[in-house]
Chain A
Amino acid sequence: MNLFRSEEHIARWLGGRDPGATISVTKLSELANAWWDDRLAADWVPHTREQNMAILERLGLTSEFWRLP
Chain B
Amino acid sequence: MDGTDLELRRRTYGFFVENGWAPSAAELGDRDSVLAGWRRLHAEHAVVLNADSDELRMLNPFSVVPTAYRVQAGGRWWYGNCAWDAFGICAALHEDGRIATSCPDCGEPLTVEVRDGRPDDESLLFHCLVPAAQWWDDIVFT
Interface residues of A (CB under 8 A from B): 1-7, 9-10, 12-13, 17, 19-33, 35-37, 39-40, 42, 44-46, 56, 64-69
Contact = CB atoms under 8 A, between A and B. Distances in A.
Contacts of B121: 25
Nearest to A65: B131
A17 B37 CA distance: 39
Interface of B: 1, 6, 9-10, 13, 17, 44-46, 60-61, 81-94, 99, 101, 103-106, 108, 110, 112, 114, 117-119, 121-134, 136, 142
A3 B60 CA distance: 18
B118 A35 contact: no
B5 to A, nearest CB: 10
B90 to A, nearest CB: 8
Given A5-B103, A9-B106, A32 B84 contact: yes
B131 A26 contact: no
Contacts of B6: 44-45
Contacts of A1: 81-85, 126-129, 142
Contact of A24 (B9, B45, B125): B125
Contacts of B89: 36
Contacts of A39: 13, 60-61, 88, 91-92
Given A4-B103, A33-B91, A26 B119 contact: yes
24 contacts: A1-B126, A2-B104, A3-B124, A9-B106, A13-B105, A20-B127, A21-B131, A23-B128, A29-B118, A30-B117, A33-B91, A36-B88, A36-B92, A37-B92, A37-B94, A39-B61, A39-B91, A40-B13, A44-B6, A45-B1, A46-B1, A64-B131, A65-B128, A69-B132
Given A3-B103, A5-B108, A28 B83 contact: yes
Given A9-B105, A24-B124, A33-B117, 12 more contacts: A1-B83, A1-B127, A6-B123, A22-B125, A28-B83, A29-B117, A36-B60, A37-B94, A40-B17, A40-B93, A45-B1, A65-B128
